[in-house]
Amino acid sequence: MSPSEPERPSPEHDDEDAEAAKERLRAFNVREQDSAWRAIAYLITGPLIYGGIGALLDHWLGTSWIVGVGIVGGMALSIYYIWFRYGTH
């Protein structure tokens, strides 16, 4: 080996690097999958919660339009929250 050539790591070192890279990739995939499920949960719970609040207000006030406003408002807030939380990285 000439002095200008870099020294190659041992095969055992390559295996350790490969295992560490696999572990980092697995952790990244788990983190991304967790983010996707959280986004879906926000999209479901926002309209349910605000639609439920609207339904209670409709029942209490004797109207029938607040539930629709609650569902649409809950979806809009959910989308905004997802965009704010996950759209910045």
Residue 12's Cβ-side half-sphere holds a number of Cα atoms within 13 Å equal to 0
pTM of the model: 0.67
22-64 tens-digit pLDDT: 788 777 777 777 888 899 999 999 999 999 999 999 999 999 9
User: What angle separates helix 66-86 from helix 11-61, to the nearest 10 degrees?
Assistant: 160
Q: Does the pLDDT of residue 73 top 70, yes or no?
A: yes
